[in-house]
Chain A
């Protein structure tokens, strides 16, 4: 079958290949060679993934010190949130190895809890945490997102209380005293003079609150603060509650109609940052980590921003909420023997519970540690020039115990989005009918929430793995 060089037909084989074919053949050869010679990164004994650039920077020195004194050594890799979610799931679902330590965000971790309890890809740490006394040492609400069916699958990284960041330059220039604000109604009333229409086009070009009906994060912050929930303690959906309806109605009245106070300056986008710099919005939800995001992305606002506790839903109500959350988990595939697990857990504890990290986290990431014994550290009393000399550490710690607990249901993201759908539809109906009265909206919100509840129930009930076996007790009890 090999062409004979002497045969007169040989040139026709060569002519059978078009120029594109030659080009592609050359490309194939070159790329193969390039891949063969491409320098591959040095491999360490164990790998850890994180999704947050600031964490990556902070952990570096701590891990270097650990590696100098311990074995196995740890190699830290930074991954985007989206790729990490996919790779974690891909590895849990196929039983293949991913990293040895996974630092994951809440919405990703919950994905691991979809299957049967024995198929959760993380090692169950409950007994270990109890035995080592960590359960008492760490702020209790911080465990909730990592607890599924009574078992804890990760070490909490943070508390992430939410405050309200406001443009102190604008507020103070208008002679407004934020101490007069206790509830959201106070907030709208006291801040109202700031909503101005400077260019005279009939539309205000400054709004009081950076919040929009299409952002699920904003919805969850407000909902949790108000005492609303997606799931009850046994992970059954309770979406169509009175509290949830009231929150939805309020948000709609903030985004539309005569009482509108909110506008959309999306976080983490250059466009949103420009709007914030321009003073399009006065106040923004600020979890502790957001202070760090602002320092880097909005350096121009240094000294022009301050923090205040969230206005409560009613007098004497909760003045904090929670946004985001991270844990460190150990995949089952990484800890096949008890000795392997011991060494990985020792590192995890060293990384998350050390005083060094608590200080680093706050200095470089503005994140407060969930380890309560570190809260007296002087670092948390350092004034922050970016926030006009306020002491953000102390302010966030004071709110830590008031942070609402959260569900770990794998259907949380689903519930969140179905509730967001209800909100969007309610808002559209309000605009269509011109009804912005909160009582009327609450009633309609209930209608949409019932639909959302139905849809989430449908998915939850369809999961054969979460169904308790007939006649048997629920696992873990």
Chain B
């Protein structure tokens, strides 16, 4: 083989070697594994499609899916508008201290979920927790408002709000920087009010980025695990209110020891996320045809 022909493969080899062993092989193995029941790595029995039949009837799986969906919707619907609002404020012309605002608001994205969970586990405690004490003195919220017992997903949404609003904000803010000021000014001269400028100039301009941010949030939210797992002290909370799809996968695989059932749950999650990404793509493409 000539030097020229070999070069691409030399560049590709480190990636392909690791990727093949630690990605491709496990994905293929996940398929066969989902037809087995195991106890740990040592004991396994082939059970065909029984795992998938069991999933369809498993109230816990559906509960996990429901909880995760609630979290995802809550996160997207509360967090993203807030992120957009902050981005609009941040891009106010002539604003001073823009950089420091951006860095501070973005910084929680650096804090890993495993660490944020430790903080929020104490923040959300009833009666003594910081949040309840602040809300009690401000709006008279019941001190015994049991976030981590009765409103687990609500608590997760609040925690995620702190962690990711700034992260999403920087994407919107970058998109807003690309909105041409002359277009905005022209619209202003034409007598467009702030709302009409927002709807007719800004929204179309940030639409592609918004699509990306929504997709990223949805995919990330559907993989929620550490936050409830650690905040609820490695349980799923009362009545499994903190159970998420990935937590159920973890419980099945590494607490019960059934790697087969865990793989089946993994496939359900994969199918769901691929479908969501497909829909987003299709919407984006349809959008592109119209404009």
A residues sitting closer than 8 Å to B (CB atoms) are: 82, 86, 89-90, 92-95, 111, 114-116, 119, 214, 264, 269-271, 274-275, 417, 420-421, 424-425, 455, 458, 462-465
* Contact of B39 with A82 in the complex, beta carbons under 8 Å: no
> Please, which residues of chain A bring their CB within 8 A of the CB of B127?
271, 275
5 residue pairs from A and B, CB less than 8 Å apart:
A86-B254, A111-B255, A271-B127, A271-B129, A462-B54
Asked, given contacts A214-B149, A270-B128, A455-B60, whether A116 binds B39 with beta carbons under 8 Å apart, the answer is: yes
**Interface SS of chain B:** loop
Which residue of chain A has the shortest Cβ distance to B261 in the bound complex?
A462
Q: Does B188 make an interface contact (CB < 8 A)?
A: no
Interface centre among A115, A269, A270 (most CB of B within 10 A): A115
Residue-by-residue, is B222-245 near A (CB-CB < 8 Å gives 1, otherwise 0)?
A: 000000000001111011100000
Asked, given contacts A82-B234, A424-B238, A455-B59, whether A465 binds B125 with beta carbons under 8 Å apart, the answer is: no
> Please, which residues of chain B bring their CB within 8 A of the CB of A93?
39-42, 254, 257
Provide the bound-state CA to CA distance between A86 and B40, in Å: 12
> Please, which residues of chain A bring their CB within 8 A of the CB of B255?
89, 111
* Contact of A95 with B149 in the complex, beta carbons under 8 Å: no
* Contact of B256 with A114 in the complex, beta carbons under 8 Å: yes
Which residue of chain A has the shortest Cβ distance to B128 in the bound complex?
A271
Provide the bound-state CA to CA distance between A92 and B54, in Å: 26
* Contact of A94 with B40 in the complex, beta carbons under 8 Å: yes
Provide the bound-state CA to CA distance between A202 and B42, in Å: 60
Partner of B238, one of A95, A114, A116, A421: A421
> Please, which residues of chain B bring their CB within 8 A of the CB of A90?
254
Provide the bound-state CA to CA distance between A264 and B144, in Å: 9
Q: Does B68 make an interface contact (CB < 8 A)?
A: no
> Please, which residues of chain A bring their CB within 8 A of the CB of B59?
455
Q: Does B185 make an interface contact (CB < 8 A)?
A: no
* Contact of A89 with B254 in the complex, beta carbons under 8 Å: yes
Provide the bound-state CA to CA distance between A270 and B128, in Å: 9
> Please, which residues of chain A bring their CB within 8 A of the CB of B126?
264, 271
B162 to chain A, nearest CB (A): 21
7 residue pairs, one from A and one from B, having the closest CB atoms: A93-B40, A115-B39, A271-B128, A421-B239, A214-B238, A424-B239, A94-B41
> Please, which residues of chain A bring their CB within 8 A of the CB of B256?
114
Provide the bound-state CA to CA distance between A116 and B47, in Å: 16
> Please, which residues of chain B bring their CB within 8 A of the CB of A425?
239
Provide the bound-state CA to CA distance between A374 and B57, in Å: 53
Partner of B39, one of A119, A269, A455: A119
Provide the bound-state CA to CA distance between A111 and B234, in Å: 15
Partner of A119, one of B37, B43, B47, B234: B43
B49 to chain A, nearest CB (A): 14
Provide the bound-state CA to CA distance between A114 and B43, in Å: 12
A420 to chain B, nearest CB (A): 6
* Contact of B239 with A95 in the complex, beta carbons under 8 Å: no
Which residue of chain A has the shortest Cβ distance to B50 in the bound complex?
A462
* Contact of A464 with B41 in the complex, beta carbons under 8 Å: no
Q: Does B58 make an interface contact (CB < 8 A)?
A: yes
Which residue of chain A has the shortest Cβ distance to B129 in the bound complex?
A271
Asked, given contacts A111-B255, A275-B127, A425-B239, whether A94 binds B42 with beta carbons under 8 Å apart, the answer is: yes
* Contact of B40 with A115 in the complex, beta carbons under 8 Å: yes
B 1-43 contacts with A by CB, 8 A: 37, 39-43
B17 to chain A, nearest CB (A): 18
